[in-house]
Amino acid sequence: MNLSSAAVRVRRMKLADLDRVIEIAESLREAPQWPRSAYLTALDPEATPRRIALVAEDSVSSAVVGFTVASLLPPQAELETIAVAQAAQRRGLARRLFTTLSAELNSAQVAQINLEVRASNLPALGLYRLLGFAETGHRTHYYHDPVEDAVLMRLRLIYPASQARIL
Which are the catalytic amino acids?
A: 116, 128
Q: Which residues have C-beta within 8 Å of that of residue 75, sequence separation ≥ 6?
A: 109, 110, 111, 112, 165, 167
* CB atoms inside a 10 Å sphere around CB 58: 18
Quote the CA–CA distance of 76 and 157 in Å, as a whole number: 10
Cα–Cα distance between 167 and 111 in angstroms, integer? 9
End-to-end CA distance of the chain: 45
The amino acid occupying position 106 is N
Count each helix (H run) and each strand (E run) in the chain, helices first.
Answer: 4, 7
| Cα angle: 111, vertex 70, 134; to 5 degrees | 55
